[in-house]
Copies of this chain bind each other. A is one copy, B any other.
Amino acid sequence: MNNFRFHARTDIRFGKDQITNLPKVLKKYGKNVLLVYGGGSIKKIGLYSQIIDLLKDFTIVEVAGVEPNPKITSVREGAKLCKEKNIDVVLAVGGGSCIDAAKVMAAGAFYDGDPWDLVVDSSNIEKVLPIVSVLTLAATGSEMNKNAVISNMETREKLGTGSQKFIPRVSFLDPTYLYTLPKMQTAAGTADIMSHVYEQYFQKNDGAYLSDGICESILKTCIKYCPVALENAEDYEARSNLMWASTLALNGLVCAGKGGAWTCHPIEHELSAFYDITHGVGLAIVTPSWMRYILSETTLHRFCNYARNVWNMQGEDSMELANKGIDATENFFKECGIPMKLREVGIEESAIHDMAVATTAHNDMQSCYVSLSTEDVENIIKDCF
């Protein structure tokens, strides 16, 4: 087990109607609130008007229209408003994109240059306004972590940044907010959660047995409940388990004692940077191809554990067992309705080489579970067509 630091200090308020505590929570930080949200979905479900009602004693400044794969242009707008309107606290209401954007806005409030500098080099992040989130999508885990991923369509870059100061102070997780999600967002969000776990589970053996067990529990939760939520959008048990799974998958818990760089996220970030596809869909497509590519005598043991402990599979022949687990992964995503070929999401084969070059240029692909060269990445992406 590797040394680690675990400090997931967000105060989580989980369950129905927790939002009524919002005024009390925000009051602690001040009176001027920057309200950050995405499209109209929070208006459609009545959450927007409920929040406006609850915050009638506060001064609210809005940044609406934050995109999926949030763009630096939105972040610049929010950072500018933080400065101009003397904002005390940033309230993100939405999914991971919205929370990610809010994080960089909150840092931009105290930064004199272009907020893109804070994405390119996290050491530029100094002071950060307090961040509170209200989650409406189970996917990224941004509600309890220090990460933010921002896209710059001018430079075709989608880059991650982070700071301990980005960790939301309080996050409200009400599973009923997920009831109106389109099926594809439920499925893609689940793929994102699972991919976070895969990135941390498939690492060199480090004796972190307990962390591996928690990984398996989260994966089993996704496999059990995503189909239930797709079948019955208002199944509270399914929505609540998926929502909590999203938070635990990326708050530092499942990598406690484990190490190593990630693989599928870096590859997917280039797909999104080039073609602006849905993050979770890109991950679902890349994952089985990556698993097949790195399956070998060296990685066999872990893939067998995966098949046994997550999929309840048994078998004499280890290689066969491992492959059955990978096939089950692919079939699961397919049955959740996710398009499983890059061609289906509009990506062109002509871009494969450039996306592979960008992957190894922007990321350390040597410290992954199995190190990958540009050629390896190219082969994995090719296999996704």
Chain A, range 1-34, C-beta contacts under 8 Å to B = 1-18
Question: Interface stretch among A76-84, A151-159, A209-217, A345-353?
Answer: A209-217
A252 to chain B: closest residue by CB: B12
| Bound-state Cα–Cα, A372 to B253, Å | 36
Smallest CB separation, A232 vs chain B (Å): 14
Residues of chain B within 8 A (CB-CB) of A10 are 7
A240 touches B217 (CB 8 A): no
Bound-state Cα–Cα, A365 to B248, Å: 32
Pick the most buried of A2, A12, A220, A245: most chain B CB atoms within 10 A of its CB. Answer: A12
A4, A12, A14, A213, most chain B CB atoms within 10 A: A213
Asked if B217 contacts A244 (CB within 8 A), the reply is no
Measured CB to CB, the closest approach of chain B to A312, in angstroms, equals 10
CA–CA, A17 and B214, complex, Å: 26
Contact residue among B7, B14, B240 (Cβ-Cβ distance under 8 Å from A5): B14
CB atoms of B6 and A9 under 8 A apart? no
Number of interface residues of A (CB under 8 A): 43
Question: How does the 8 Å CB contact mask read for A206-245 relative to B, with 1 for contact and 0 for none?
Answer: 0111110110111011001100000000001100110011
The yes or no answer to A256 lying at the interface (CB within 8 A) is yes
- A257 an interface residue at 8 Å Cβ cutoff? yes
A3/B7 in contact, CB under 8 A: no
Residues of B within 8 A of A209 (CB): 221, 224-225, 237, 241
Q: In the complex, which residues 180-216 of chain A have their Cβ closer than 8 Å to any Cβ of chain B?
A: 207-211, 213-214, 216
Q: Are A213 and B220 in contact (CB under 8 A)?
A: yes
CA distance A6 to B10 in the complex (A): 8
| Smallest CB separation, A135 vs chain B (Å) | 14
Docked Cα-Cα span, A211 to B14, in Å, equals 14
CB within 8 Å for A244 and B221 given contacts A3-B18, A12-B6: no
Q: Which residues of A contact B (CB under 8 A)?
A: 1-18, 175, 207-211, 213-214, 216-218, 220-221, 224-225, 236-237, 240-241, 244-245, 248, 253, 256-257
Q: Besides the contacts A3-B14, A6-B11, A210-B217, what 19 more A-B pairs have beta carbons closer than 8 Å?
A: A1-B15, A1-B175, A2-B15, A3-B15, A4-B12, A5-B13, A207-B236, A207-B237, A207-B240, A207-B241, A209-B225, A209-B241, A210-B244, A213-B214, A213-B220, A214-B214, A214-B217, A240-B257, A244-B257
What are 29 contact pairs spanning A and B, CB under 8 A?
A1-B175, A1-B237, A1-B241, A2-B15, A3-B14, A4-B14, A4-B15, A5-B13, A5-B14, A6-B11, A6-B12, A6-B14, A7-B10, A8-B8, A9-B9, A14-B256, A207-B237, A208-B241, A209-B221, A209-B224, A210-B217, A213-B214, A213-B220, A213-B221, A214-B217, A216-B217, A217-B217, A240-B257, A244-B257
The 3 closest A-B pairs by CB, nearest first: A3-B15, A213-B217, A207-B237
